[in-house]
Amino acid sequence: MRTISENRCFGGVQGVYAHKSDATDCEMTFGLFLPAEAEEEQVPVLWYLSGLTCTHENAMTKAGAQKWAAEAGIALVFPDTSPRGDGVADDPAYDLGKGAGFYVNATEAPWAPHYRMWDYITDDLPRVLFSAFPLAEDAQSITGHSMGGHGALTIAMSFPGRFRSVSAFAPIAHPTASDWGRKQLGAYLGPDAAKWAPHDATLLMRKRGFDGPVLVDQGGSDQFLDLLKPEALAEAMAASRQNGTFRIQKGYDHSYFFVSTFMESHVAFHADALLA
């Protein structure tokens, strides 16, 4: 692992680091905010998964999460959204290829050699983080925006007991029934829709739900509502009697203006679970 940058931030340190990933077989970059408490002890950690076209940097610089995390004494992890490098497959479209890893393990050509973001987020990067930094492995929560909200929800529901809480900002909620999902899941996983189901938050919510609290915020004026399908996830949460809150925020769109507006309440939501 190598250090790209470290900057003092709200009494803690906002770092950016790179490492060779076994999962993606390329160098990966991530951001990590450590609050002041990390100088003395292990601290809880909140994962933030970003959306389409993003890198580790978008939420790190736009979401304003460090202020609230510092006040709560919580670390923040900002992973990248896909493998990178000259030898990594890509596509001219913004919603496939680099910046659009969709948090799955690709099985199809030309994606399979590097696009293993599921393993990267759930196994490879955690091993790096918990071996190199003072993070409490038994105190983790996860959140994300758009494609990252999809990733946060599906990963949280697939690893019972790992995360104390999960939240999402405008998640791609029902990808098997959306053009933001069918295209990518078909490309990465092949035409068999049965292989897509484990990566659909609505289907997972109906099947098993999450073993902790859930918070979802959706902008009421989001320009991508038809692709996100929030109503499907809300119905699944109600049907499964999930311990959670689903909020439509009137007038808000899909941008980081929306994310940053409600970031304080999401960090507070996770702090309640992480510091209990």
pLDDT value of residue 12: 98
pLDDT < 70 positions in the chain: none
Which run of H or of E encompasses 235? Answer: helix 230-239
Domains and CATH numbers, the chain: 2-274 (3.40.50.1820)
Q: In the β-sheet with 26-34, what is the strand arrangement from edge to edge?
A: 2-9, 12-21, 26-34, 75-79, 43-49, 135-144, 163-169, 214-219, 244-249
pLDDT value of residue 94: 96
Listed in sequence order, the residues at least 6 apart from 230 whose beta carbon sits closer than 8 Å to its beta carbon are: 170, 171, 173, 216, 218, 246, 248
Catalytic residue chosen out of the listed positions 21, 82, 141, 146: 146
Catalytic residue chosen out of the listed positions 56, 174, 254, 270: 254
Q: What is the residue-averaged pLDDT of the chain?
A: 98
114 annotated active-site: no
pLDDT value of residue 213: 98
pLDDT value of residue 52: 98
> For 171-228, how does the pLDDT look when each residue is reduced to its tens digit (9 = 90+)?
999 999 999 999 999 999 999 999 999 999 999 999 999 999 999 999 999 999 999 9
146 annotated active-site: yes
Beta carbons of 153 and 204 less than 8 angstroms apart? yes
165 annotated active-site: no
Catalytic residue chosen out of the listed positions 141, 222, 266, 270: 222
CA-to-CA separations, 134 to 32, 42, 74, 105, 266, in angstroms, rounded: 11, 4, 11, 28, 23
